[in-house]
Amino acid sequence: MSPRQIVRPDDDELIAPDAPNWFKRAVSTPSSDHFVTSGGVAIHYLAWGEPGRRGLVFVHGGAAHAHWWAHIASRFASTHRVVAVDLSGHGDSDFREDGYTLERFAAEVMAAASDAGIDGPPVVIGHSFGGFVTTVTAALHADDVAGAIVCDSPITEPDPEVGSHRSRRAFGKVRVYSTREEALARFHPEPRQKNELTYVLRYIGPWSLRQVAGGWSWKFDHRIFEGFENGTRALALPYLSEVRCRYALLRSEHGLVTPDIGQAMYEKLGRVAPVIEIPQAGHHAMLDEPLVLLTAIRTLLADWDHSTPQVR
């Protein structure tokens, strides 16, 4: 599919002068923009590394976009074909007029992986809502996924206190700001956490905006959570017991996956998937503990290369 014009913000706006060198190198690693059609809409993804290598596919959380993963995903460019996808209704992908489902998102993940020139089944890595998508992808596309790493995604029974009402309250109202600067001043993760690294937020924020009539607004479709009446936490629950590939849960110490939820997911997964705590991390570990998160992912991938998986 012919690539669209993607407007890149200026590096002076994206990269804070006091950002550490590892971060500057990571977000400066060459990447390319691509589009693939899935279910009749155009899906955008970023790619790093050479085609024809084994692959990693990174999936963002709800109302986020591919660039949330850029400083993590790009670190694998020397060894893998790496993809970070914009799910439909997010980032630079098309909106859907007929609604969003985890199953549709899973098909988009696989379409991007297939289009990117990955050698063999990829490992899919998802954060928060993207972890729900990753779990469904692993269950529905078992022969085409080598492994799944899920980052602080609380897959559990519906909870009315953290269900669709909170998602709609946080993301359901279209907000238009008169200037780009005003919008960026309001940019923050949801849920909020104490120790976000300001240089990471500075990089992600400008990629989150689009110009609209009357000013600037966020790129995501505010209707995304309308179809999830009972919240999103339970949507992937039936799929946990269907996962047959390698699977790991990275649980943020101060995140949404409590020890009880982690234990329940471990049981549903047949007691064969590791549950690993990311110390000091909030729900969005890529914002406050990115190097710890990166190390955890690297460690899992290295272990999976040299060990035999347990069978349910």
**Superfamily classification of domain 21-158+234-305:** Alpha/Beta hydrolase fold, catalytic domain (3.40.50.1820)
Higher-pLDDT residue of 117, 232: 117
pLDDT computed for residue 134 by the predictor: 98
Q: Is the pLDDT of residue 309 over 60?
A: yes
Nearest to 100 by CA among 63, 75, 144, 51: 63
Q: pLDDT at position 159, please?
A: 65
Which SS3 state, helix, strand or coil, does residue 147 take? strand
**Is pLDDT at 123 greater than 50 in this prediction?**
yes
pLDDT of residue 166: 53
Examine the pLDDT at 49 and tell me if it is beyond 50. yes
301 φ, ψ (degrees, to nearest 5): -60, -40
Q: What pairs with residue 254 in β-bridges?
A: 282
* Greater model confidence, 310 or 16: 16
pLDDT of residue 24: 98
Confidence class for position 160, pLDDT limits 50, 70, 90: low
Q: How much is the average pLDDT of 47-56?
A: 98
* pLDDT attached to residue 16: 97
Q: Which residues contact 15 (CB under 8 A, 6 or more apart)?
A: 23, 24, 27, 28, 199, 202, 203
Domain map (residue ranges) of the chain:
21-158+234-305
Output the pLDDT for position 232.
Answer: 83
* Res. 173 pLDDT band, cuts 50 70 90: confident
Q: CA geometry: angle at 16 spanning 13 and 19, to 5°?
A: 155
* pLDDT for position 5: 78
Burial of 7 (0-12, 13-18, 19+ CB in 10 A): exposed
Binned at pLDDT 50, 70 and 90, residue 233 comes out as confident
> Whose CA is closest to 87, among 98, 72, 97, 102?
102
Minimum mean pLDDT range among 24-33, 98-107, 132-141, 167-176: 167-176
Residues with Cβ within 8 Å of residue 12, at least 6 apart in sequence: none
For residues 227 and 106, which has the higher predicted lDDT (pLDDT)?
106
Mean pLDDT of 215-244: 90
Give the model confidence (pLDDT) of 257-279 as tens digits: 999 999 999 999 999 999 999 99
Using DSSP, how many helices (H) and how many strands (E) does the chain show? Answer: 12, 10
pLDDT surpassing 60 at residue 100:
yes
pLDDT band at 2 (very low <50, low <70, confident <90, very high): very low
What is the structure's pLDDT at 227? 77
Instruction: Quote the mean pLDDT of the chain.
Output: 93
Q: 284 — phi, psi (to 5°)?
A: -95, 80
